[in-house]
């Protein structure tokens, strides 16, 4: 038995990308096994950026990723996660 699998989309809004992105990148690298895709959109004139991350994995890993990202000052995280049916 492999356990429950979940599919989700995370949206990160980053206030100061030059200060925050290296820490975000390190966390995303740590959770690379559950990341199936991502896209970053810089808003250069204002220094903000939007990063979308598609994830698939167990609920504990996905939740830990979300918590780690939310712990970074200047990062807002929204998420939608659904359980995959067999």
**Is pLDDT at 67 greater than 50 in this prediction?**
yes
Q: Is residue 7 part of a domain?
A: no
Per-residue model confidence as pLDDT tens digits over 4-17: 899 999 999 999 88
Q: What does pTM read for this prediction?
A: 0.90
Q: Does a structural domain hold residue 57?
A: yes
**What are the tens digits of pLDDT across the range 15-60?**
988 889 899 999 999 999 999 999 999 887 877 899 999 999 999 9
Q: Is the pLDDT of residue 2 over 80?
A: no
Q: How many domains does the chain have?
A: 1
Question: DSSP string spanning 15-54?
Answer: S-HHHHHHHHHHHHHHTGGGEEEEEEEEETTTTEEEEEEE
Report the CATH number at residue 46: 3.30.70.1150
Residue span of the structural domain in which 73 resides: 14-78
Examine residue 40 and state whether it is found in any structural domain, yes or no: yes
């Amino acid at each position: 038995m492999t356990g429950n699998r979940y599919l989700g989309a995370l949206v990160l809004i980053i206030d100061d990308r030059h200060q925050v992105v290296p820490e975000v990148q390190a966390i995303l690298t740590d959770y690379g096994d559950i990341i199936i895709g991502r896209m970053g959109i810089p808003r250069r004139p204002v220094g903000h950026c939007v990063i979308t991350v598609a994830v698939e994995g167990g609920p504990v890993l996905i939740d830990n990723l979300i918590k780690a990202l939310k712990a970074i000052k200047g990062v807002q995280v929204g998420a939608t996660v659904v359980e995959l049916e067999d």
